[in-house]
Amino acid sequence: MHDSLRRFKTEFFKALAHPTRIRILELLRAGEMSVNELQTKLEIESSGVSQQLAVLRNRNIVEARKEGTSVYYRVRDPQVFELLDVARRIFNAALIDTQSMLEQLEEEGASEDPPERTTRRAYARAP
Partner DNA sequence: ATACAATTTATCAATATTCAAAGATAGCAA
Partner DNA sequence: TTGCTATCTTTGAATATTGATAAATTGTAT
- Partner whose footprint covers residue 48, from DNA, a second copy, none (CB < 5 to 8 Å by kind): DNA
18 binds DNA (CB under 7 A): yes
Residues 93-112 interacting with a second copy (rule: CB under 8 A): 93-94
**Contact letters for DNA, residues 66-95 (x by CB under 7 A):** x-xxxx------------------------
Main-chain phi, psi angles of 59, to 5 degrees: -90, 5
Quick one: residue 66, left, alpha or beta (phi over 0 = left, psi -120 to 50 = alpha)?
beta
- List residues bridging with 33 in a β-sheet: 73
Count of helix runs (H) and strand runs (E) in the chain: 5, 3
20 binds DNA (CB under 7 A): yes
Which sign, positive or negative, has the C-alpha torsion 44, 48, 49, 52?
negative
Segment interacting with a second copy, rule: CB under 8 A, options 33-41, 66-74, 85-93, 104-112: 85-93
**Residues in contact with DNA by the rule CB under 7 A:** 14, 17-18, 20, 34-36, 39, 44-51, 53-55, 64, 66, 68-71
